[in-house]
Amino acid sequence: MRASSDHVLTSHAGSLPRPDALIEANRAREAGEATDERAFQQTLRGAVADAVRHQKELSIDVPGDGEFGKSVGNRVNYGAWWNYAFQRLGGLDLAGPNLDHMTPRPARPGEIVLTNAARRRDRVRFAAAYADRESGVYMGPRPATGPICVGPLTYTGQEAIKADIANFKAALAAAGVAEGFMTAVAPGSAYRIPNTHYERDEDFLYACAEAMREEYKAILDAGLVLQLDDPATATSWDMIDPEPSVEDYRKFIMVRVEALNHALRGLPQDRIRFHLCWGSWHGPHTTDIPMSDIVEVMLAVNAGAYSFEAGNVRHEHEWKVWQDVKLPDGKLILPGVVSHATNVIEHPELVADRILRFANLVGRERVIASTDCGLGGRVHPDIAWAKLDALAQGAALASRQLWRGRS
Amino acid sequence: MRTSAGHILTSHAGSLSRPDALVEANRMREARGTGDEQAFQHQLHAAVGDVVRRQKELGIDIPGDGEFGKSMGQRVNYGAWRSYSFQRLGGLDFGGPNLYDSTLRRSRPGAVVLTNFADRRDRARFAAAYADPDSGTSMGVRAAAPTCVGPLTYIGHEAIKADIVNFMAALASAGVEEGFMTSVGPASCSRIGNAYYKTDEEFVYACAEAMRGEYKAILDAGLVLQFDDPAIAENWDLVNPEASVEDYKKFTMVRVEALNHAIRGLPQERIRFHCAGAAGTARIRPTFRCATSSM
């Protein structure tokens, strides 16, 4: 994994805006209207190449494929980062209830379980705002159905991940970029669907870990950087009703981290980065667990770098966590210094200030400037690209300060 | 004006969420013009009482009336802070285009003019985002904007009297000693069509003279007056193409002087100034010397 050796490297959290033509092609393909698979693959490949070139033009040092292989059929979309996996796993019945309508489960001290998405505590507290189409919390159309695990989980996405990798590597080569990252969902986030096959939640979790390992391996074998998307590490807190003790929660989440580490056994840690966030929906986020309560859990993931939200009004103050927490030797952080959470484009000077705070605490070589969360689907495409531009400008400003007097 | 002695005082910039019933009552009143005015005033009075009590409960030291007397007929509304003045000024005609459809005007070096709202530079740069209802940039309905066609006069005496009575009663019943009330500044007030005054400057000063009646009423009642004059900052985005900072400062100082003219002899220690930026104002820092302000 590249580190910021002579300037602050830039990257982002993964999702980028899909071109309208690709969104329409995804929609038609999902609806079974499109039959020309070859034409679809060509559209996809062209879009990935454009996205990588665009990132390079904006001086994003470590680009991604924008998650373009993770199908979205509408412009506003907050779910592709994990629901793509439902197309790549065997053992699922995809005609189950929408995940908002899973049976809500109450938690008890020492016995933590997740309730359903509609019972999230922030969502209940601000029910009227979440229900108001004009409030800005709107998350796009909800799928009519959801997956249920009804048999042994297997990875069936070999063709899909092969195409993703081929598209991305071709795009990187054409743009002359040495390193790129590709996202994959972590088991702790993927397993949050109904399950009638495995006896215990933990069995299902480990089955997810085993199945998804194949995708992780494919990405790493191709020489790419693997980014594990695991917001559930933080967002599960909001999905436990009533609010548990921090101690109980940490125990609960550590089981998920261990399952992830099991999936990563023997894989090259120096090309694995981990993405933590509190959910990218534009809600009030009053029930987000503080970073200080889960930072040690995050660092227990066997990754070489950690990506997290640090550029929005609910989490920006948490840079101070790194005054007390030691980043293990040889590891990097990718704090979010521009955010998906607002249409306002961050001023490059603010971006630089944010970068400098982290660089001063953990060392300039160990900071890669990134975004809070994926921009695609969360803000308008033109705003998303302008934010990456602001990110690169801010990183350049910070680099000038951090490497003053050299070169 | 209270200052933070012993703890950091809290306040806010003015507008608070109107209760749904008041939004609906405003909408009906705006649409029909007539109706049971007494029932409406009753409802408004009570809503102001509630919102002041709620601010007190939350630990807001210097509450406002939430701008509830500035009519808002929709939940999503970014314009009531200024559009209320259209109802309080004589000399206006309401048949003209809204501010987005009015004449586009280009600035030249040494000759700064404001263009229409659709031609804002940020809006032009992100036209697709502004046009997309799902992008979160939607600003709700576009209010009709008036054109000045005769001498500008202040005719809002009844309205400001009611605002003051409602707010003073609410403060008294909540046991709060100091509260603020907003009023639009001349720079922001004058951004409507003008077919009567010869120059923009004359029109700005006419706005200043007319609105002085409202400023005086608020201060005479013992309240803190807050000037809402975002135009001081966000006119920058309304000048297309981008002007030199020097030209812009000159253009804006005329508006600050008009404001200072409007508050001549009024108690500065109970006047606060609110200057908001819109996107695209990044290069402008609030360096204007507003005699009124502690920006």
Of B49, B104, B47, B65, which is closest to residue B239 (Cα–Cα)?
B104
CA distances from A200 to A33, A205, A206, B245, B276 (A): 39, 9, 10, 67, 55
The verdict on a CB contact (< 8 Å) between B279 and A381 is no
- Asked if B271 contacts B224 with a C-beta cutoff of 8 angstroms, the reply is yes
pLDDT at A166: 98
B128 to chain A: which residues are within 8 Å by CB?
380-382
Give the C-alpha separation, A136 to A129, whole Å: 8
Average pLDDT over residues A327-342: 98
Average pLDDT over residues A53-75: 96
Instruction: Give the domain range for residue A112.
Output: 9-402
- Mean pLDDT (chain B) is 90
CA atoms within 13 A on the CB side of B274: 19
For the stretch A271-315, pLDDT in tens is: 999 999 999 999 999 999 999 999 999 999 999 999 999 999 999
B137 to chain A: which residues are within 8 Å by CB?
343, 380
- CA-based nearest distance B126→chain A, Å: 7
pLDDT at B291: 36
pLDDT at B289: 37
CA distances from B177 to A235, B15, B172, B294 (A): 43, 20, 8, 21
Give the containing element (helix H, strand E) for A332. strand A332-338
A76 to chain B: which residues are within 8 Å by CB?
134
pLDDT at B116: 93
- What does the longest C-alpha to C-alpha distance in chain A come to? 63
pTM of the model: 0.94
The verdict on a CB contact (< 8 Å) between A343 and B128 is no
Q: Please report whether residue B183 resides in a domain.
A: yes
The verdict on a CB contact (< 8 Å) between A380 and B128 is yes
State the DSSP code for A369: E
Nearest CB to A136 within list B132, B136, B140: B136
Average pLDDT over residues B113-126: 94
pLDDT at B232: 95
pLDDT at B31: 86
- Asked if A209 contacts A187 with a C-beta cutoff of 8 angstroms, the reply is yes
Q: Please report whether residue A1 resides in a domain.
A: no
pLDDT at A405: 64
Residues from B contacting A (CB-CB < 8 Å) are: 75-76, 126, 128-129, 132, 134-138, 140, 279, 282
Tokens representing residue B252 in the block: 């804006």
Q: Per DSSP, which regions of chain B are E strands? A: 89-93, 147-154, 180-184, 193-194, 224-228, 271-274
For the stretch B189-233, pLDDT in tens is: 999 999 999 999 999 999 999 999 999 999 999 999 999 999 999
For the stretch A344-378, pLDDT in tens is: 999 999 999 999 999 999 999 999 999 999 999 99
CATH of the domain at A382: 3.20.20.210
Q: Which residues contact B184 (CB under 8 A, 6 or more apart)?
A: B81, B82, B84, B85, B211, B227, B228, B229
Selected for mutation to probe chain B from A380, A387, A389 (highest B CB count within 10 Å) is: A380
What are the φ and ψ backbone dihedral angles of B82, each rounded to 5 degrees? Answer: -120, -35
Give the C-alpha separation, A92 to A150, whole Å: 6
Give the C-alpha separation, A261 to A274, whole Å: 11
Closest-approach residue (CA) in chain A for B132? A380
Asked if pLDDT for residue B288 goes beyond 80, the answer is no
Give the containing element (helix H, strand E) for A211. helix A201-221
The verdict on a CB contact (< 8 Å) between A382 and B128 is yes
Is the link from the previous residue into A141 a cis peptide, with omega within 30 of 0?
no
The verdict on a CB contact (< 8 Å) between B126 and A347 is no
Give the C-alpha separation, A355 to A350, whole Å: 9
Nearest CB to B282 within list A132, A347, A381: A347
Beta bridge partners of A148: A93
Rounded (10°) CA dihedral A236, A240, A246, A247: -100
Give the C-alpha separation, B150 to A336, whole Å: 54
B132 to chain A: which residues are within 8 Å by CB?
75, 380
Question: What counts of helices (H) and strands (E) characterise chain B?
Answer: 10, 6
A387 to chain B: which residues are within 8 Å by CB?
none
Residue B34 has a CB neighbour count (10 Å cut-off) of 6
pLDDT tier, B293 (very low <50, low <70, confident <90, very high otherwise): very low
- Mean pLDDT (chain A) is 95
pLDDT at B263: 95
Tokens representing residue A49 in the block: 């190449």
Average pLDDT over residues A325-353: 98
Q: Please report whether residue A3 resides in a domain.
A: no
Give the C-alpha separation, A168 to B192, whole Å: 53
Domain count of chain B? 1
A344 to chain B: which residues are within 8 Å by CB?
279
Helix axis angle, B37-57 to B20-32, nearest 10°:
150
Q: Please report whether residue B80 resides in a domain.
A: yes
Q: Please report whether residue A360 resides in a domain.
A: yes
B126 to chain A: which residues are within 8 Å by CB?
380, 382-383, 386
Residues from A contacting B (CB-CB < 8 Å) are: 75-76, 132, 134, 136, 138, 140, 282, 343-345, 347, 379-383, 386
Q: Please report whether residue A2 resides in a domain.
A: no
Nearest CB to A382 within list B129, B134, B282: B129
The verdict on a CB contact (< 8 Å) between A282 and B136 is yes
List, edge to edge, every strand of the sheet that includes B89-93. Answer: B89-93, B147-154, B193-194
State the DSSP code for A364: G
Give the C-alpha separation, A375 to A306, whole Å: 18
What are the φ and ψ backbone dihedral angles of A181, each rounded to 5 degrees? Answer: -120, 150
Nearest CB to A343 within list B76, B128, B137: B137
CA distances from A144 to A34, A94, A96, A393, B143 (A): 20, 10, 9, 42, 38
State the DSSP code for A314: T
Give the C-alpha separation, A75 to B71, whole Å: 35
Q: Which of A94-98, A103-107, A281-285, B140-144 has the lowest mean pLDDT?
A: B140-144
Q: Please report whether residue A317 resides in a domain.
A: yes
Give the containing element (helix H, strand E) for A154. strand A145-155
Tokens representing residue B42 in the block: 């009753």
The verdict on a CB contact (< 8 Å) between B134 and A138 is yes
Q: Please report whether residue A4 resides in a domain.
A: no
CA distances from B161 to A192, B156, B166, B189 (A): 59, 8, 9, 20
pLDDT at A139: 79
Nearest CB to B279 within list A132, A344, A379: A344
State the DSSP code for B10: -
Which residue blocks in A280-380 are alpha helix, DSSP H? 291-299, 321-324, 348-362
Give the C-alpha separation, A271 to A217, whole Å: 11
- Asked if B148 contacts B84 with a C-beta cutoff of 8 angstroms, the reply is no
Give the C-alpha separation, B64 to A281, whole Å: 31
Closest-approach residue (CA) in chain B for A137? B136
Give the C-alpha separation, A155 to A258, whole Å: 20
The verdict on a CB contact (< 8 Å) between A383 and B135 is yes
Residue A386 has a CB neighbour count (10 Å cut-off) of 21
Q: In this prediction, does ipTM exceed 0.95? A: no
Asked if pLDDT for residue B52 goes beyond 70, the answer is yes
CATH of the domain at B165: 3.20.20.210
For the stretch B56-111, pLDDT in tens is: 999 999 999 999 999 998 888 888 999 999 999 999 999 888 888 888 999 999 99
pLDDT at B285: 37
Size of interface A-B (CB pairs under 8 A): 37
Give the C-alpha separation, B104 to B94, whole Å: 19
- Report the SS3 class of residue A73: coil
B76 to chain A: which residues are within 8 Å by CB?
134
Domain count of chain A? 1
Closest-approach residue (CA) in chain A for B128? A382
Give the C-alpha separation, B118 to A383, whole Å: 18
- Asked if A340 contacts A311 with a C-beta cutoff of 8 angstroms, the reply is no
Average pLDDT over residues A93-101: 88
The verdict on a CB contact (< 8 Å) between A380 and B135 is yes
Which residue blocks in A59-200 are alpha helix, DSSP H? 80-83, 121-125, 127-131, 158-175, 187-190
pLDDT at A406: 57
Instruction: Give the domain range for residue B166.
Output: 20-274
Look up tokens 């309205």; give the residue: B159
- Asked if B204 contacts B255 with a C-beta cutoff of 8 angstroms, the reply is yes
Give the C-alpha separation, B50 to B60, whole Å: 14
For the stretch A20-37, pLDDT in tens is: 999 999 999 988 897 799
- Asked if A137 contacts A70 with a C-beta cutoff of 8 angstroms, the reply is no
